[in-house]
């Protein structure tokens, strides 16, 4: 009884605060809503609105502030339930998301100084506030994931879903390919490696003489993505990096610059930016050895010989991939490639099927005129890390553009049916929680038309 009284007193106190803040519209900030034990400030909505504008994610219809408010109401409700269920935060996941968010802000505005000027806060303040926001969003997402996990779907559910859908509402799928590959990396000559090391030594000397590491990374690093950020990689664990790179970082103090480090990606120099427990943030400059035309020709000739053996049926493609391919991601599966591009519109993420639009341009050019079972000629491409490679590909299966059906696209239809069932279940769960949880919204948002009813309580 005493505990209940304390809770009621807290809610009464916060509700009174809401009314008093609402009467002070001239104030810089005021409470917009209360959800359980959490509040949403006008400044919270303004800050998220600013982020949406800055990232180009503004809604095309409706009042943006009302849309943001409903998003935050849902997050706070999920957050309250996550605390009740004692869900835990993955600190590394939060830090990774924080660095990713900051990287996108810096990439959009050009520098951290520009970010500070836009938000009128120091980088430390921005990080602290973003970290708390991401923690809340992380817990809310985890809670929604826990709710979704309760929903299952059977083959018979998929068949019922397919039968109930009008045919013109089923997705139209583009041309799709299933393929295998054999990949070889051109061997860098001793001269090419020496030239790369000498170039990096020269850059290191300039750093030691006082030039800014970040400026030189922008100018010279061949890691394109990190170069945009002055070579900065973001706070992460050593296990995220290949061993030689991680070992070099483990011996660096903040501000210190490493000697030249060789990895499978090329040659690096590293500057330690910050250490935080088991995590660290470092900058690096990557220089790759330049492969000569002769290096590429040697590899092409080797692959040409392998392709000839396969066409003559002297060896099967999957066995040749296991024996010769240098791609660790596909070699053990006989060269079979799995789609690892997590793009929202990509219907075949984490599948062996590739939609035409999600195939690397060089790969598509090599296979577009092939029939099932045919093998491409050797050609140059790049791997996921931007490394120069030479490969041959075999069309395992070609699926022409078609309307989704149970025979060819059962997994896709299963995923869509599951998502719809999860959405219905979550809507029902959310409706019940809205009714049972304490929610108070400032009258200034009374004209908002929310997607779900029940937020405004009488």
- Name beta bridge partners: 180: 336, 394
CA 234 to CA 217: how far, in whole Å? Answer: 15
What pLDDT shows up at residue 191?
A: 78
DSSP code of 252? P
For residue 99, what are the contacts with CB-CB under 8 A and spacing of at least 6? 234, 235, 236, 281
DSSP code of 453? T
What pLDDT shows up at residue 105?
A: 75
Does 254 reside within a domain?
Answer: yes
pLDDT band at 267 (very low <50, low <70, confident <90, very high): very high
Each residue's pLDDT tens digit, 373-401 = 999 999 988 887 777 889 999 999 999 99
Residue 5 reports pLDDT greater than 80: no
Does 458 reside within a domain?
Answer: no
Instruction: Taking each helix axis as running N to C, give the angle between helix 406-436 and helix 123-148, from 0 to 180 degrees, rounded to the nearest 10.
Output: 110
Bin 304: left if φ > 0, else alpha if -120 < ψ < 50, else beta.
alpha
What is the three-class DSSP state of 184? strand
Contact indicator for 49, 68 with CB cutoff of 8 Å? yes
Instruction: Find the range with the poorest average confidence among 2-16, 116-130, 364-378, 429-443.
Output: 2-16
Domain containing residue 300: 174-187+292-402
Long-range contacts of 425-428 (CB under 8 A, 24+ apart): 425/147, 425/148, 425/150, 425/151, 426/144, 426/147, 426/148, 427/452
439-441 sheet: strands from edge to edge: 38-41, 31-35, 439-441
Are residues 182 and 194 both part of a single domain?
Answer: no
Instruction: Find the range with the poorest average confidence among 196-210, 252-266, 376-390, 393-407.
Output: 376-390
Which of 13, 30, 12 lies closest to 21 in space, CA to CA? 30
- Mean residue pLDDT of the chain comes to 85
Residue 9, both tokens:
């007193």
What pLDDT shows up at residue 107?
A: 67
Each residue's pLDDT tens digit, 411-435 = 889 989 999 999 999 999 999 999 9
CA 142 to CA 78: how far, in whole Å? Answer: 9
What pLDDT shows up at residue 339?
A: 79
Residue 22 reports pLDDT greater than 60: no
What pLDDT shows up at residue 1?
A: 36
What pLDDT shows up at residue 347?
A: 58
CA 78 to CA 436: how far, in whole Å? Answer: 13
What pLDDT shows up at residue 189?
A: 67
Domain boundary among 264, 287, 310: 287
Each residue's pLDDT tens digit, 63-115 = 899 999 999 999 999 999 998 888 888 777 788 788 777 777 776 677 778 88
Instruction: Find the range with the poorest average confidence among 120-124, 235-239, 323-327.
Output: 235-239
What is the three-class DSSP state of 287? strand
Are residues 244 and 304 both part of a single domain?
Answer: no
Contact indicator for 222, 243 with CB cutoff of 8 Å? no
Residue 23 reports pLDDT greater than 50: no
Are residues 83 and 122 both part of a single domain?
Answer: yes
Are residues 131 and 143 both part of a single domain?
Answer: yes
CA 236 to CA 282: how far, in whole Å? Answer: 9
pLDDT band at 216 (very low <50, low <70, confident <90, very high): very high
Are residues 10 and 145 both part of a single domain?
Answer: yes
Find the angle CA(446)-CA(447)-CA(450) to the nearest 5 degrees.
Answer: 90
What pLDDT shows up at residue 7?
A: 33
Residue 299 reports pLDDT greater than 80: yes
Long-range contacts of 207-213 (CB under 8 A, 24+ apart): 207/257, 207/269, 207/271, 208/257, 213/257, 213/271, 213/283, 213/285
Does 249 reside within a domain?
Answer: yes
Does 60 reside within a domain?
Answer: yes
Are residues 78 and 129 both part of a single domain?
Answer: yes
Does 415 reside within a domain?
Answer: no
Are residues 380 and 306 both part of a single domain?
Answer: yes
Are residues 183 and 328 both part of a single domain?
Answer: yes
Are residues 257 and 299 both part of a single domain?
Answer: no
Are residues 211 and 343 both part of a single domain?
Answer: no
Does 409 reside within a domain?
Answer: no
Are residues 178 and 216 both part of a single domain?
Answer: no
Q: How many domains does the chain have?
A: 3
Beta strands in 351-418 (DSSP E): 354-355, 379-382, 388-399, 402-403
Each residue's pLDDT tens digit, 118-167 = 888 888 888 888 888 888 888 888 999 999 999 999 999 999 999 998 98
CA 175 to CA 348: how far, in whole Å? Answer: 12
Does 161 reside within a domain?
Answer: no
Displacement of CA 366 from its chain's centroid (Å):
28
CA 14 to CA 30: how far, in whole Å? Answer: 12
Contact indicator for 361, 275 with CB cutoff of 8 Å? no
Q: What is the mean pLDDT of the segment spanning 292-321?
A: 92
Domain boundary among 244, 263, 287: 287
Residue 69, both tokens:
């408010």
The enclosing domain of 258 has a CATH number of 3.10.50.40
Give the percent of the chain with pLDDT over 70.
90
Q: What is the mean pLDDT of the segment spanning 20-28?
A: 43
Residue 309, both tokens:
């053996």
Does 452 reside within a domain?
Answer: no
DSSP code of 375? B
Contact indicator for 189, 281 with CB cutoff of 8 Å? no
Residue 456 backbone dihedrals phi, psi, to 5 degrees = -85, 120
């Amino acid at each position: 009884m005493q505990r209940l009284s304390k809770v009621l007193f807290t809610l009464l106190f916060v509700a009174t605060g809401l009314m008093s803040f609402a009467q002070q519209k001239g104030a810089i900030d005021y409470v917009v809503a209360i959800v359980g034990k959490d509040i949403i400030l006008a400044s919270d909505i303004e800050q998220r609105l600013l982020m949406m504008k800055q990232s180009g994610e503004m809604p095309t219809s409706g009042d943006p502030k009302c849309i943001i408010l409903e998003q935050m109401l849902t997050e706070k409700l999920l957050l309250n339930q996550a605390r009740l269920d004692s869900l835990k935060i993955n600190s590394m996941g939060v830090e990774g998301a924080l660095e990713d968010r900051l990287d996108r802000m810096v990439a959009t505005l050009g520098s951290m100084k520009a970010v500070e000027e836009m938000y009128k806060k120091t980088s430390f303040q921005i990080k602290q506030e973003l970290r708390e926001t991401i923690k809340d969003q992380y817990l809310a997402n985890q809670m929604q994931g826990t709710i979704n996990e309760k929903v299952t779907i059977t083959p018979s559910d998929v068949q019922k879903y397919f039968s109930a859908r009008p045919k013109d509402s089923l997705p139209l799928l583009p041309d799709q390919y299933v393929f295998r590959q054999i990949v070889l990396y051109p061997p860098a000559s001793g001269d090419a490696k020496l030239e790369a090391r000498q170039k990096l030594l020269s850059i290191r000397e300039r750093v030691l003489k006082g030039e800014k590491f970040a400026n030189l990374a922008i100018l010279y690093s061949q890691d394109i993505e990190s170069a945009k950020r002055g070579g900065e990689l973001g706070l992460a664990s050593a296990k995220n990096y290949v061993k030689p790179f991680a070992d070099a970082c483990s011996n660096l103090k903040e501000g210190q610059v490493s000697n030249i480090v060789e990895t499978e990606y090329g040659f690096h120099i590293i500057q330690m930016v910050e250490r935080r427990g088991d995590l660290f943030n470092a900058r690096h400059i990557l220089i790759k050895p330049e492969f000569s035309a002769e290096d590429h020709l040697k590899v092409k000739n080797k692959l040409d010989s392998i392709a000839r053996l396969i066409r003559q049926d002297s060896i099967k493609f999957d066995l040749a991939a296991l024996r010769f391919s240098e791609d660790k991601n596909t070699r053990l599966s006989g060269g079979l490639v799995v789609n690892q591009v997590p793009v929202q519109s990509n219907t075949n993420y984490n599948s062996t099927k590739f939609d035409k639009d999600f195939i690397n341009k060089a790969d598509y050019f090599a296979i577009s005129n092939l029939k099932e079972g045919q093998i491409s000629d050797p050609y140059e491409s790049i791997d996921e890390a931007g490394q120069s490679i030479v490969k041959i590909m075999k069309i395992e299966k070609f699926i022409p553009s078609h309307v989704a059906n149970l025979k060819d696209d059962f997994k896709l239809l299963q995923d869509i049916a599951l998502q719809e069932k999860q959405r219905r279940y979550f809507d029902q769960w959310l409706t019940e929680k809205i009714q049972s949880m304490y929610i108070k919204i400032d009258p200034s948002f009374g004209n908002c038309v929310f997607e779900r009813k029940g937020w405004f309580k009488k």
